Amino acid sequence: MAAQEAAVRAQAEAVRRLKQDKADPDEIAKEVAKLLEMKAQLGGDEGKPKFVLKTPKGTRDYGPKQMAIRERVFSAIISCFKRHGAEVIDTPVFELKETLTGKYGEDSKLIYDLKDQGGELLSLRYDLTVPFARYLAMNKITNIKRYHIAKVYRRDNPAMTRGRYREFYQCDFDIAGQFDPMIPDAECLKIVHEILSDLQLGDFVIKVNDRRILDGMFAVCGVPDSKFRTICSSVDKLDKVPWEEVRSEMVGEKGLSPEAADRIGEYVQLHGGLDLIERLLQDPKLSQNKLAKEGLGDMKLLFEYLTLFGITGKISFDLSLARGLDYYTGVIFEAVLLQQENEHVEELVGVGSVAGGGRYDGLVGMFDPKGRKVPCVGVSIGIERIFSILEQRLEASEEKIRTTETQVLVASAQKKLLEERLKLISELWDAGIKAEMLYKKNPKLLNQLQYCEDTGIPLVAIVGEQELKDGVVKLRIVATREEVNIRRESLVEEIRTRTSQP
């Protein structure tokens, strides 16, 4: 090693001299490369090259504590989806590149492509909706209610403290099929309402709008047909930037007339409930537009159904809601957390959209060779933000979260009992008991008890020479330090009783 280090020093000196002499840059570069390689080989203790030890930008690991929170959230969401009778499907993490092409409008630039290593051109999925539509068309399914929980990928600018990642989970519930108007749409909103209430994230509002109302509004405001989608993208920014900025984007970048922009400005300030829908149905301009009229009529029906569900209190018909994605054709919605109602947390978690969705009646037809349409409506729950909130709340609280479900630690009080511990733990495993032991030949009893304290294991089954002779096991209750001798043949039952949930 010393010889190698000396060689590195000599090489470094050679580089220094070449630089001093203002030698040919190529030659310097060559010698520097040689130096770096020598250093890399020398590297750490065992001569290994240096790594950047990190996860890719915009991604994170989930440790056991985070996973415990994540599984709570998933469990609430899956319960709700199952309560509504959904089946579950899964699709590959990547799709043929062309499957994703032309579905996401301005967001397409955020799609991750795979390297062309020969064979098909592939991209990571950007959401679960387009793969779902591809699945329906490919299998000629015209009628399904399914959920799908999986990771999606967007080369976005990550803001991880606020729960915005490049790899993140979406929990999607969709209803596909030709049905009577607004019944499935209302159920999607009911689902969002149930999940957000269940998770106790604080106050929320679900904004609702309709692409047909937006398009009708654009038409009566004098937006040319060809600019509908791009103006819609501008409106979509209203939840993040003030109207003035959006207006100047419309007029400046997108070439809309100032008059049209101002007319839009009046509409997008409106939000309310059934009363607003009624008012707009009387609006002299909007009521003349076929699309807007259809959209408003359905919106009225939707609100009637939501009234029957008893959830209109948290629903706001909001003309500024646009949603970025190209494929929506009818109702659109987005759930927003209103504030952080948690007194424990000092630092406010960024508040934002935690669920969104809408109707996309044309997407499946884009995949069908004959263009056959399958009307769809669905909702996507974004768990990363929800997760950020719950994680910070848990950290601030006193609650100690268990990351295993172990019921009993198999321990020994004396030495030379490894074989006996192995025999007992094997019996317990075979009986379905969740059991651990320390992987040491002769662990100290204190260390074994400490392990239970640290990990929350409630019981210790202690084998000792006397107990073996007597055919019993000493069962210790960690919380009370109580110890009882249990006959070996009754041990499984005793552990079950003592650890069954009340």
In the annotated binding site, the residues are: 127-129, 154, 170, 174, 323, 327-328
Using the structure block, give the residue that is written with the tokens 């240096």: 50
Number of residues that bind a copy of itself (CB under 8 A): 100
The binder of a copy of itself chosen from 138, 159, 338, 484 (CB under 8 A): 138
Using the structure block, give the residue that is written with the tokens 């015209």: 142
Report in angstroms the alpha-carbon separations of 220 from 214, 224, 290, 293, 351: 10, 10, 11, 12, 34
| Ranges within 32-61 binding a copy of itself (CB under 8 A) | 44-46, 48, 50-57, 59-61
Shortest distance, position 288 Cβ to a copy of itself, whole Å: 28
Shortest distance, position 199 Cβ to a copy of itself, whole Å: 15
Indicate the residue among 217 and 376 with the shorter CB distance to a copy of itself. Answer: 376
Which range, of 24-32, 67-75, 281-289, 491-499, touches a copy of itself by CB under 8 A?
A: 67-75
The binder of a copy of itself chosen from 69, 76, 99, 337 (CB under 8 A): 99
Indicate the residue among 78 and 205 with the shorter CB distance to a copy of itself. Answer: 78
Distance of CA 126 to the CA centre of its chain: 13
Within 156-284, residue ranges assigned H as helices are 183-198, 211-221, 228-236, 243-248, 258-268, 274-281
Shortest distance, position 373 Cβ to a copy of itself, whole Å: 9
The binder of a copy of itself chosen from 31, 35, 134, 467 (CB under 8 A): 134
Q: What are phi and psi of 378, to 5 degrees?
A: -160, 170
> Is there binding between residue 190 and a copy of itself (CB under 8 A)?
yes
| Ranges within 401-440 binding a copy of itself (CB under 8 A) | 403-406, 418-419, 422-423, 426, 429-430, 432-436, 439-440
Indicate the residue among 289 and 388 with the shorter CB distance to a copy of itself. Answer: 388
Question: Beta partners for 167?
Answer: 153
The one-letter amino acid at 217: M
| Ranges within 288-317 binding a copy of itself (CB under 8 A) | 305, 308-310
**Radius of gyration of the chain, Cα coordinates, nearest whole angstrom:** 31
Q: For residue 232, which of 327, 161, 297 has the smallest C-alpha distance?
A: 327
Indicate the residue among 137 and 246 with the shorter CB distance to a copy of itself. Answer: 137
Helix (H, G, I), strand (E, B) or coil at 463: strand
> Is there binding between residue 477 and a copy of itself (CB under 8 A)?
no
| Ranges within 312-371 binding a copy of itself (CB under 8 A) | 365-371
Neighbours of 92 (CB within 10 A): 11
Neighbours of 6 (CB within 10 A): 10
Q: Quick one: three-class SS letters along 315-331?
A: EEEECCCCCCCCCCCCE
The binder of a copy of itself chosen from 29, 114, 338, 484 (CB under 8 A): 114
Q: What angle do CA 268, 269, 273 make, to 5 degrees?
A: 95
Shortest distance, position 387 Cβ to a copy of itself, whole Å: 12
